[in-house]
Amino acid sequence: MAKRRISQQQKRRIADIQQQRRRKAKANSQQKIQQLSGQGLGPEQSGQIISNFGQRLIVEDDQQQLFRCVARQNLGALVCGDKVIWQQAGDGEGVIVALEPRKSLLQKPGFGGKLKPMAANIDQIVIVSSLQPEPNAYLIDRYLVAAENLPAAPIILLNKIDLLSEENRQQIARLEAEYQHLGYPIIRASNVSDEGFDELHEQLKNKTSIFVGLSGVGKSSLIMHLLPEHDIRIGDLSSATGEGKHTTTSSMLYHLSCGGQLIDSPGVRDFGLWNTSADDILYGFKELRPFIGHCKFSNCSHKHEPGCAILAARDAGKISPQRFQHYQKMRQEYAL
Ligand SMILES: Nc1nc2c(ncn2[C@@H]2O[C@H](COP(=O)(O)OP(=O)(O)O)[C@@H](O)[C@H]2O)c(=O)[nH]1
Ligand SMILES: [Mg+2]
Ligand SMILES: [Zn+2]
C-alpha cells in the first residue's frame, strides 16, 4: 500500500516536470515566433518536415533548401514527413503556420501508454528479414498486419541472399511462394553480392518508405547502401546553429537517387510490434478481408460460433493453415 502511494507520488512528480518542460518549450517557441515575425515574414509556401531537433523543425522547401522552423501554437506535434505551409523569416529560418492533411501517421506508445507520433505520410513499409537470422513468418505476418492498418503498402525484403545454401533453399522458396501468392512484392537482396538493389530502387521510386525488421537482419547496411553519400546538409545545419548534433533517435527523411524518400530512425525501425485491436488484426490478413462482416452474429469472435464466415473461409482453404494459426496467435498475444 505504502509502496503504491510512493509510486503514485513519483508518477505525479514526473508528470509535473514534463508539464513544466512542455510549458517552457512552448513559451520559448512563442518567443522565437515573435522574434522571427519582427523580422517580417515571407509569403506562405509549401514544404515538408524532414527532421526535428526538439522544438526546432527542419523544413525543406520545394527546391530542397532547408530552413530551421518553429511551429505556431495549436498545430499539435509535427513529425518527419509532414507536409506544411510555412513562411520564411530571415536567413534560413521560418514559421510553420499550417499542417496539410496526413495520408498516414505512424505512432508509438510513449510515456503512460499515450500514443506518440513518429512519422507521417508513409506510403510503403519494407519488411526486412534475412537468411541469418532466419526468416520468421510470424514476425512477417505481424508487420504485414501493422502495414495494412497504417495503411501502407508492404514490401518483403529477404536480405543476405548470399547465404542461400542447400540447407535453407527449400524453406526460402516456400516462404517466397506463400507471400507471392498473396500478392505481396518480395525482393531477394544482399549487401554482399549487391543483388536486388535495382528491384529495390524500382519499388522505392517516388514513394516514401520505412524499413522495419529484427535487429541483425541488415537494415542499417541496406540503408547505408541506398544512401552512399549520407545527407550532410543536416550536420551543417546543426553545427551552424550550435543546436546540438542530430541524434539518431529522432527521425530523418532522406532523398534517394531513384526519386524516392526514406524515413529512418531506430524508433521508426521498431514500428509494428505493439497492441492492435482484434478487428485490426483480422483486417490485416487480407485474404480474410472479403469475409469480414458476413458472420451470422455481428459480435462474432470467429472462434467457435455457428455461421462464422471467417471459420468457413478457413475451412474452404481461403487462408493457409500457417497464416490462420498466426492470426489466432496474434489475437491471443496482442489483441487489446
Ligand atoms: N552475409 C551478409 N551479411 C550481411 C548483409 N547485410 C548485413 N550483413 C551483416 O549483418 C549484420 C547486421 O547488419 P546491420 O545492418 O547492422 O543490421 P540491423 O541490425 O538490421 O541494422 C552485420 O554484421 C552486417 O555486416 C548481407 O547482405 N549479407
Ligand atoms: Mg541497425
Ligand atoms: Zn465470425
pLDDT in tens, 63-76: 999 999 999 988 98
Grid cell locating 283:
483486417
How far apart CA 212 and CA 118 sit, in angstroms, is 14
- 240 alpha carbon – ligand 3 mean position (Å): 60
Name the pLDDT band for 5 (thresholds 50, 70, 90): low
pLDDT at 162: 98
- 307 alpha carbon – ligand 3 mean position (Å): 7
Radius of gyration of the CA atoms of the chain, in A: 23
pLDDT at 232: 54
How far apart CA 90 and CA 35 sit, in angstroms, is 10
244 has a pLDDT exceeding 60:
no
Residues with CB under 6 A from ligand 1: 159-160, 162-163, 190-192, 215-221
Q: pLDDT per residue over 190-231, tens digit each?
A: 999 999 999 999 999 999 999 999 999 999 999 989 987 665
pLDDT at 1: 43
Closest ligand, as measured to the CA of 217: 1
Give the Å distances, CA to CA, from 19 to 9, 24, 175, 242: 15, 9, 49, 26
- 306 alpha carbon – ligand 3 mean position (Å): 8
In sequence order, what E strands does the chain have? 41-53, 56-60, 66-71, 83-89, 93-99, 105-109, 115-120, 124-130, 153-159, 186-188, 208-212, 252-255, 261-264
pLDDT at 336: 64
Angle at which helices 219-226 and 197-204 cross, to 10°: 80
Residue in 129, 191, 270 to alter for ligand 1 test, most ligand atoms within 8 A of Cβ: 191
Domains, the chain, ranges and CATH?
33-101 (2.40.50.140), 106-269 (3.40.50.300), 278-334 (1.10.40.50)
Measured at the CA of 332, the angle between CA 331 and CA 336, to 5 degrees, comes to 65
pLDDT at 150: 92
Q: Give how far the C-alpha of residue 307 lies from the chain's centroid of Cα atoms, to the nearest Å.
A: 37
Please tell me the least confidently modeled range out of 15-24, 52-61, 143-152, 232-241: 232-241
Name the pLDDT band for 49 (thresholds 50, 70, 90): very high
Ligand 1 atom nearest the C-alpha of 159 is 27
Q: 228 preceded by cis ω (within 30°)?
A: no
Q: CB within 8 A of 318, min separation 6: which ones?
A: 287, 288, 291
Grid cell locating 175:
516462404
**Residue 196's CB: how many other CB atoms inside 10 A?**
19
Q: 185 preceded by cis ω (within 30°)?
A: no
Please tell me the least confidently modeled range out of 34-48, 156-170, 299-313: 34-48
- 277 alpha carbon – ligand 3 mean position (Å): 15
**Residue 302's CB: how many other CB atoms inside 10 A?**
21
Supply the mean pLDDT for the chain: 89
Ligand 1 atom nearest the C-alpha of 163 is 1
Ligand 1 atom nearest the C-alpha of 189 is 27
- 221 alpha carbon – ligand 1 mean position (Å): 6
Q: CB within 8 A of 162, min separation 6: which ones?
A: 190, 192, 193, 195
Closest ligand, as measured to the CA of 133: 1
The mean pLDDT value for 147-161 works out to 96
